[in-house]
Structure 1
Amino acid sequence: MPNAKAGPSRLEQKLRAEISGDVFFDRFNRGRYATDASFYQVIPAGVVVPRTMDEALRALAIARDDGRIVTPRGGGTSQCGQTVNEGIVVDFSKHLNRIVSLDVAGRTCVVEPG
């Protein structure tokens, strides 16, 4: 784990430069994302809360280039630990939670991931 007194990592700096949403690498916020509705607790390296799908895709590319595991997160209601990981958690629930299209007759719906 990085030293708390050290400056931001290269990964954190890159994410902050590319993402207008929240980027958390502090201990408190990483702790908030360390659990879901399951009993598992895994502290992530960082958390990104993108405002747009383009930002989400940029965050994925940055994490991939850094060799990080990425875990998508919606409501955090998993009871089996699917939303916790030691990589980068991308929280879609705050901004990317809208219905994109609804076709009642065709019984289909397209939604954002949050």
Structure 2
Amino acid sequence: MNTIMLSALAESNRLQIVELLCSGPLTVGEVADRLHIRQPQASKHLKVLLEAGLVEVEADANRRIYKLRLEPFKELNAWLEGYRDIWENRFDNLNHYLQQLFQKEQKQEE
């Protein structure tokens, strides 16, 4: 798992940018407008996301258009999958334990 990627996503503005880019490519100006931040701030956040490999940029005349790269998010999902399995097993164990407690309480009430 890439810690640079996680660090980039840990900042709220950058996470919001990723969420915006889920709907499609955007220019720096569009990102700034939608997040109500100044364009230089948006550019700095996008640069961090670019260096982390989360976005790619395409130049169109004097505009820069950013879009998400799917590969890093697939990698993140694969990494999280192992933890999902652990938590599902723990929830299954908890459910089994609670069912046993419920059955004991019902027997005691009889």
TM-score by length of 1: 0.28
- Structure of higher CA gyration radius: 2
Higher strand proportion: 1
TM-score of the aligned structures, taking structure 2 as reference length: 0.29
Structure with the larger helix share: 2
